[in-house]
Amino acid sequence: QQNVQQSPESLIVPEGARTSLNCTFSDSASQYFWWYRQHSGKAPKALMSIFSNGEKEEGRFTIHLNKASLHFSLHIRDSQPSDSALYLCAVSGTGFASALTFGSGTKVIVLP
């Protein structure tokens, strides 16, 4: 069974700083890697995904993936108070329809 771990558990950063979140997974055959964001009391919402080694940038958000190290990360440039939320990483396995396994989340607080 897939084991997905996130670090740190929580993070406080000043407005304008760079935020870095980490996620490790256990199944080397995993194919797709996602980050979701959940504001307090709201539904989780997909941010972005990656499926090949390397880096992918969308606006202020960048994902790095290293399959050999079983690790991927999310970096937020110029963090804003509106980025304060629970960030969940998720990993899909193999097969035609493979449900996502989520990590336990990193709570991010961006102070103005």
CB of 28 to another protein, least distance (A): 18
Containing 109, the helix (H) or strand (E) segment is: strand 106-111
Q: What is the C-alpha separation between 102 and 2, in angstroms, rounded?
A: 9
CB of 37 to another protein, least distance (A): 11
Nearer to another protein, 99 or 111 (CB): 99
Nearer to another protein, 2 or 20 (CB): 2
CB of 19 to another protein, least distance (A): 18
Cis peptide before 8 (omega within 30 of 0): yes
Nearer to another protein, 32 or 66 (CB): 32
Binding residues for another protein, rule: CB under 8 A, are 1, 4, 6, 31-32, 34, 36, 42-46, 49, 51, 88, 90, 92, 96-97, 99-105
Q: Does residue 23 contact residue 38 with C-beta atoms inside 8 Å? A: no
Phi/psi region, residue 102 (left: phi>0; alpha: psi -120 to 50; beta: rest), is beta
